[in-house]
Amino acid sequence: MGEHTIREILKRRSDDTQRVIRRRRERATKGVHRRGKSYWMLGTMAVIVLVIIATIAYVGWLTRAVNDRFMADRSANAAGHNGLNLTLQSTTQFLPNTLLAATDPNFYNDSDLTVSPLTSRLVRMYFPDDSRIAVVVKSVALQFGYSRTDILETYINDISFDMNAGQLIRGFASASQIYFKKPFAQLQPQDVAMLVALATDPEDADPRTNPDGALAMRNAVLQMDAQQDVLSQAQVDAFKKSPLGIAP
């Protein structure tokens, strides 16, 4: 065999060897990429699972917190905090109807996943430093866990009005005694409207420090009663002419 022929054979073998080596390297590289992709997918899935677990735990913690506070207040109201308590069975429908007309007309119609302004305000009163997300979660938890009537009744008895002699006024029954010096059952419709305005904006509607603003806000609440068919327009026009009647 000639020298030239030997060189050709060695050259062909060398090319074949290089191709084999390249194919092995390519397979090895693809294997590394596949393993790397698998590890990345597993890592991503692990992170997602941890986020889901953490979210469920966070929601559960928020739900327990608001349920505990709500039940504690329900128990306190049933016992009569400060000796004053209102139930929707013991009071006329004018208070809840006016309250909802002025603050949350769709309270009974929205789904439990829709955060009610009234529920949200109750939660914000319980937890004033909560984030917006926490308030939403807690509001939805309350709406799923309790009837709208229970939430409304608790709001009526827990809502804060203003400070009186250094103490916070809580609930419509207490506010009636402070501002009108009479039991809630003896209030006239315009008086109830005044308290609803106060519950909505205790500072601007304070009849003792801002009587003109208080009168305007009371009359605005009465007008919402007409818009929501709680009162006729003739009744509203008559009640608007009444003085504030706030006790000194």
- 88-127 per-position pLDDT tens digit: 777 778 999 999 999 999 999 988 889 899 999 999 989 9
Q: Give, in degrees to the nearest 5, the angle at Cα 138 between 133 and 140.
A: 95
- 190-216 per-position pLDDT tens digit: 999 999 999 888 778 888 888 999 999
In a domain, 93, yes or no: yes
Q: Residue 224 pLDDT more than 90?
A: yes
Give the total number of structural domains in the chain. Answer: 1
Domain that holds residue 175: 53-240
In a domain, 219, yes or no: yes
In a domain, 40, yes or no: no
Residue 106: which CATH number?
1.10.3810.10
- 73-86 per-position pLDDT tens digit: 787 777 665 556 78
Q: Residue by residue, what is the 3-state secondary structure of 41-61?
A: HHHHHHHHHHHHHHHHHHHHH
In a domain, 86, yes or no: yes
In a domain, 235, yes or no: yes
In a domain, 15, yes or no: no
- What is the three-class DSSP state of 95? helix
Alpha helix (H) ranges present in 80-188? 94-103, 117-126, 132-145, 148-158, 172-180
Length of the chain: 248
In a domain, 23, yes or no: no
Cut 0.85: pTM above it: no
In a domain, 146, yes or no: yes
